Structure 1
Amino acid sequence: MDEGLRQNVRQRAGHRCEYCRMPESATPFVPFHAEHIIAQQHMGTDEADNLALACDRCNAYKGTNLASVDPETGEVTRLFHPRNDLWNVHFVIEPDGKIIGRTDVGRTTARLLMMNAPARVRLRCELSSDELNG
């Protein structure tokens, strides 16, 4: 993947993780990744519509997963797809810094990506809503 494509992914995302909304500026020593929404091993491509900007934590926890288990229903549920889904439909950031899944997709993604790990919630609380919502 060339640097121009990576820059396009960053700009399209507003320099924020497309999963947890963390701005790149919040972790200046830990680079964000242009991650494959559908992993190459599952026939995903390097095309822009299959790439999302992801912080190192979301990228690591997501891995090659396309689905996981909804913690509320126990059903296998697909993950949030940044190109096809609207973030505000599936998630909300609470005043205490926690990301709450509004839908089965949101709950499943928030759980698998460990969006509410204590260090991540603390960092989110230190940021303004403008920084998180662009």
Structure 2
Amino acid sequence: MNPNYNLVADRAAHRCEYCRAPEIVFNFPFEIEHIVPLYRGGNNEISNLALACRSCNLRKGTNTRGIDSTSNTEVSLFHPRENRWEENFQVQAESGAIAGMTPVGRVTVTALGMNSQPQLIARQLWIRLGLFP
């Protein structure tokens, strides 16, 4: 396990910093990921580490940017230290879908596949159980 796990997980309130999945419903700890990947010049400092569920971490990979479908411009993915989640995303309570409210939000929802069928089903259950958002 990453030696920074406790610090990063506590800071994230044990939620994925991208899709806000609650770590408590999984039978294993979430992953510590590099917001700016080492491959792209990132570092191992705490400010560059985020708690991520397996789905978000795998889909993000070394990506840091994407094309916004509305403006057709390249923008950065959501950065948990520089962007506020509430300003970029909105949860649709009935469907469980996460809507991107800004170019950053839209690109991140698409790049991380935040609204896959399994995630929507899980998110609907988490909402009913009071575990999300």
Please report the TM-score for the alignment, with normalisation by the length of structure 2: 0.93
Please say if residues 90 and 103 of structure 1, whose CA atoms lie closer than 8 Å, have aligned partners that are also in contact: yes
Can you list the C-alpha shifts for 1:51-84, whole angstroms capped at 9, x where unaligned? 0000000000000111011122221111000011
RMSD of aligned Cα (Å): 1.5
Q: Deviations over 1:67-108 (max 9, x none)?
A: 011122221111000011100000011011000000000000
Aligned to 1:91: 89
Q: Structure 1 residues 2, 56: closer, same or farther in 2, change over 3 A?
A: closer
Instruction: Note if 1:125 corresponds to 2:124.
Output: yes
Kept after mapping to 2: 8 A contact 1:71/1:111? no
User: Alpha-carbon deviation of 1:2?
Assistant: 4.7
Match of 1:76 among 74, 77, 84: 74
Sequence identity percentage: 40
- Which residue type is aligned with residue 25 of structure 2? A
Which ranges in structure 2 are unaligned for 5 or more consecutive residues? none
In the alignment, the residues of structure 2 paired with residue 18 and residue 132 of structure 1 have an alpha-carbon distance, to the nearest angstrom, of 13
Contact 2:96 2:127 in 1 (8 A): no
Misfit runs of 4+, over 6 Å? none
Partner SS, residue 92 of structure 1:
strand
Q: Which residue of 1 aligns with 2:48?
A: 50
- Return the alpha-carbon distance in structure 2 between the equivalents of residues 72 and 28 of structure 1: 38
Return the alpha-carbon distance in structure 2 between the equivalents of residues 15 and 50 of structure 1: 17
